[in-house]
């Protein structure tokens, strides 16, 4: 009887052993850490991706080092049935957060315009990530300034071995 109970509890885990197909455009990120230098050459950004809950979600823990203090944040990517899009929730050590979507198109992951707020600062931003070979991607982030957009940074993220 005990074996049947254990098997029944593990069955849902086994059923979700493979990552959700909805994450196929982002799957290359999972299981690796990726690191790149900001344009100032002083700070680095490191993102570590892992599947959680049997591949139903993708977690990104990131740390920015080299500045006056260490900055860290975490993003959880999830499939939203109603919109049929991958959504994300981002939170950080400053109490900041944002929510948005990820849209893949022609090999690029687009993060459309969204708002970030930490109670003191509010910004409107958008980003795109483009693969650069098997072990790198280029991340471009832009901030809304007036009626236009200004590139905030462009970082080449390299897979860490």
pLDDT of residue 9: 43
Indicate whether 2 pLDDT > 70.
Answer: no
What is the predicted pLDDT for the residue at 126?
Answer: 97
**pTM for this model (two decimals):** 0.86
Q: What is the pLDDT of residue 59?
A: 98
pLDDT recorded at residue 57: 97
Domain topology for 18-160? Lipocalin (2.40.128)
137: left (phi over 0), alpha (psi -120 to 50) or beta: beta
**Dist CA 14 CA 12 (whole Å):** 5
Q: Please report the pLDDT score of residue 20 as a whole number.
A: 85
Q: What is the pLDDT of residues 75-133, one digit of tens each?
A: 999 999 999 999 999 999 999 999 999 999 999 999 999 999 999 999 999 999 999 99
């Amino acid at each position: 009887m005990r074996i049947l109970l254990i098997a029944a509890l593990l069955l849902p885990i086994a059923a979700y052993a493979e990552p959700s197909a909805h994450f196929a455009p982002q799957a290359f990120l999972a299981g690796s850490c990726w690191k790149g230098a900001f344009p100032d050459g002083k700070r680095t950004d490191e993102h570590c991706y892992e599947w959680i809950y049997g591949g139903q979600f993708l977690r990104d823990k990131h740390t920015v080092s080299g500045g006056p203090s260490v900055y860290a944040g975490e993003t959880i990517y999830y499939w939203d049935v109603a919109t049929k899009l991958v959504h994300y929730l981002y939170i950080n050590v400053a109490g900041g957060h944002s929510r948005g979507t990820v849209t893949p198109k022609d090999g690029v992951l687009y993060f459309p315009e969204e708002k970030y707020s930490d109670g003191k600062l509010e910004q409107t931003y958008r980003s795109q990530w483009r693969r650069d070979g098997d072990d790198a991607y280029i991340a471009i982030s832009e901030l809304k300034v007036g009626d236009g957009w200004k590139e905030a940074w462009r970082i080449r993220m390299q897979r860490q071995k």
